[in-house]
Amino acid sequence: MAKPTEYLRVTGLHAFYGESHILHGMDFVVNRGECVSLLGRNGAGRTTTLRAILGLTGKRSGSVMMNGREIIGMPPHRIARLGIGYCPEERGIYASLSCEENLLLPPQVGSAGMSLDEIYAMFPNLAERRHSQGTRLSGGEQQMLAMARILRTGAKLLLLDEISEGLAPVIVQKLGQIIRQLKEKGFTILLVEQNFRFAAPLADRMYVVEHGQIAAEIHQHEIEEKREFLQEFLGV
Amino acid sequence: MEIFGVPLPALMGQLMLGLVSGSFYAMLSLGLAVIFGMLNIINFAHGALYMAGAFLAWMGLTYWGISYWWSLLLVPLAVGLIGVVIERTMLQWLYKLDHLYGLLLTFGLALVIEGLFRYQYGVSGLPYAIPDELSGALNLGFMFLPKYRAWIIGVSLTVCLATWFIIEKTQLGAYLRAATENPQLTQAFGINVPLMVMLTYGFGVGLAGFAGVLAAPAFQVSPLMGSNLIIVVFAVVVIGGMGSILGSILTGLGLGVIEGLTKVFYAEASSTVVFIIMAIVLLLRPAGLFGKEK
């Protein structure tokens, strides 16, 4: 196997919301084409990590290198333009936009994004509901839409926050298939999850987040032997 | 011919006048609605910038010989530019604060702008001639329709509908709606939201400047023309529902007509009828006729 190339490197990342200090020096790396999962309990700082990478938190310090460029000082729209697609925990479907408008909203941030046809082939439900108001879609459809709209843009790094949360098992399964397809297509994925069983088969590596820091790193081949530790840790 | 004891030409005349004021209400409340949606700022300087638009047209004609038609193009740009400067230097620091701060700041700005013109030009009002192409009236058979009034109604409707179309039906409008609804996420998709906010304010007040140019030949150009109008316009925005585009347009026109008709049937109430409607609407539908309950 070729030596992995670093795509995202987070070093000593601190982030605040107002006065509250959420991240206390996060350190981790995501290599090109890898699927990396951030596991942890609620409030451990996983969502904040994604938001801090995008510049959506309050004060930040430390370093975030994206494809060799320091992005910690950039405003969010410039960071996104470097090729990051973000799927927020609350899904962020716009009520004032139709399904298709939601899908077409994010501007191109890289070359070779998926075409609308490819996306509708991957998510046939969205084609049927293209004229519905975005928030009239079911929870599962909204999650598909939130995923689909960042695949069109040509983003190479996907930040996915709790995409399996609150969805029926059959939809979670479908999402798992989609993540596998995306890995095959060469996307780099940073997956924030609480659902260990969803993340375990997908992730090449996992980081356990606790109190705004990385508490452990687990490779795919270690997952079985550390399963008990993880389940206890995550409280599942 | 009479309707309810009122001669038809008189009725139609007041209806026209009502549509004319309605056109101004619509253009101004549209700008306010767009600005409020995007910036969360209740722009009290709107009336003053409308007045500034009328004055810029007057100054252009008087000092530099800039015709009405050129003013119609240049003044909105100039007022929009003033808006951009206001947004960059002052408003941008207020977005995270309570509405009250934006309201107070823009109210103060309105007083400053009005004071400047009042100091320079007094309050008696200056005349601005209707351009030759639009002077005179059309005989419609049942009434005489002054061309300039028809022009005001036609142009403002076109501008309002074009604005509505851009916001509701185009990709740029989708960006605007998205940025209004969830600015952070929209910026995280790579859209330069701070730039859009700045241009939105410029566009909103540019619309007020445009209305000012349209108003210059119809009314006297006076430093007080903005504050006389803006109170009614705020009532229109409240009735229509804050932040609703089509709502502001329809409510603006509708209330202008209601006001005009009140002048015919019960003139004493004509200046209060809008506020009576506002009170009723607030009691029955606090979010406004077209607003969404939060």
Neighbours of B66 (CB within 10 A): 17
Indicate yes or no: CB of A97 within 8 angstroms of CB of B190.
no
Residue B293 within a domain: no
Query: Looking at beta carbons, which residues of chain B come within 8 Å of A81?
Result: 190
Residue A172 within a domain: no
Confidence of residue B10 (pLDDT cuts 50, 70, 90): confident
Q: What percent of chain B has pLDDT over 90?
A: 41
Residue A118 within a domain: no
- pLDDT given at position B75: 94
Task: Of B54-68, B106-120, B269-283, give the lowest mean pLDDT range.
Answer: B269-283
Residues of A with CB under 8 A from a CB of B: 54, 56, 75-77, 79-81, 86, 88, 92, 94-97, 101, 104-107, 109, 150, 153
Query: Least CA distance to A81: which residue of chain B?
Result: B190
Average pLDDT value over all residues in chain A? 88
User: What is the mean pLDDT of the segment spanning B153-173?
Assistant: 92
User: How far apart are alpha carbons B127 and B16 in whole angstroms?
Assistant: 22
- Domain of residue B67 covers 2-284
Contacts of A198 (CB under 8 A, 6+ apart): A164, A172, A175, A176
User: How far apart are alpha carbons A204 and A216 in whole angstroms?
Assistant: 14
Rounded to a whole number of angstroms, the distance between the first and last alpha carbons of chain A is 35
Tally the domains of chain A.
Answer: 1
Judge contact between B197 and B87, C-beta under 8 A. Answer: yes
User: What is the mean pLDDT of the segment spanning B142-164?
Assistant: 89
Residue B289 within a domain: no
Neighbours of A36 (CB within 10 A): 23
**Secondary structure (3-state) at B224:** coil
Query: Looking at beta carbons, which residues of chain A come within 8 Å of B188?
Result: 54, 56, 76-77, 79-80, 86, 88
Could you report the per-residue pLDDT of A11-59, keeping only the tens digit for each? 999 998 888 888 898 999 999 989 999 988 888 889 999 999 998 888 8
Residue B123 within a domain: yes
Spell out the alpha helix ranges (H) of chain B. Answer: 8-39, 46-64, 68-89, 99-121, 147-169, 171-181, 183-188, 193-218, 225-240, 245-265, 273-284
User: How far apart are alpha carbons A87 and A163 in whole angstroms?
Assistant: 8
Indicate the pairing of strand A6-17 with strand A60-66: antiparallel
Residue A150 within a domain: no
DSSP-assigned letter for residue B71:
H
Question: Angle at Cα B189 formed by Cα B188 and Cα B190, nearest 5°?
Answer: 90
Which residue in this structure is represented by tokens 């494809």?
Answer: A67
- pLDDT given at position B54: 94
- Domain of residue A29 covers 1-82+161-166+193-236
Could you report the per-residue pLDDT of B48-71, keeping only the tens digit for each? 999 999 999 999 999 998 899 999
Here the CATH number for the domain that contains residue A62 is: 3.40.50.300
User: What is the mean pLDDT of the segment spanning B83-87?
Assistant: 94
The closest CB to that of A107, out of B182, B189, B193, belongs to: B189
Residue B8 has pLDDT above 80, yes or no: no
Residue B292 within a domain: no
Residue A138 has pLDDT above 90, yes or no: no
Residue A123 within a domain: no
Residue B196 within a domain: yes
Confidence of residue B87 (pLDDT cuts 50, 70, 90): very high
Residue A2 has pLDDT above 80, yes or no: no
Going from the C-alpha of A132 to that of each of A11, A33, A99, B165, the distances in angstroms are 43, 34, 6, 19
Confidence of residue B1 (pLDDT cuts 50, 70, 90): low
Residue B17 has pLDDT above 90, yes or no: no
Indicate the pairing of strand A213-219 with strand A205-210: antiparallel
Residue A75 has pLDDT above 60, yes or no: yes
User: What is the mean pLDDT of the segment spanning A191-201?
Assistant: 87
Tally the domains of chain B.
Answer: 1
Could you report the per-residue pLDDT of B199-249, keeping only the tens digit for each? 999 999 999 999 999 998 988 888 888 888 888 888 888 888 876 788 888
Query: Least CA distance to A103: which residue of chain B?
Result: B174
Residue A61 within a domain: yes
User: What is the mean pLDDT of the segment spanning A65-89?
Assistant: 91
Could you report the per-residue pLDDT of B27-49, keeping only the tens digit for each? 999 999 889 888 888 899 999 99
Residue B157 within a domain: yes
ipTM value, please give it: 0.87
Judge contact between B261 and B17, C-beta under 8 A. Answer: no
- pLDDT given at position A236: 55
Indicate yes or no: CB of A109 within 8 angstroms of CB of B190.
yes
Contacts of A229 (CB under 8 A, 6+ apart): none
Residue B291 has pLDDT above 80, yes or no: no
Which residue in this structure is represented by tokens 């709606």?
Answer: B177
Helices (H) and strands (E) in chain A, counts: 9, 10
User: How far apart are alpha carbons A187 and A153 in whole angstroms?
Assistant: 12
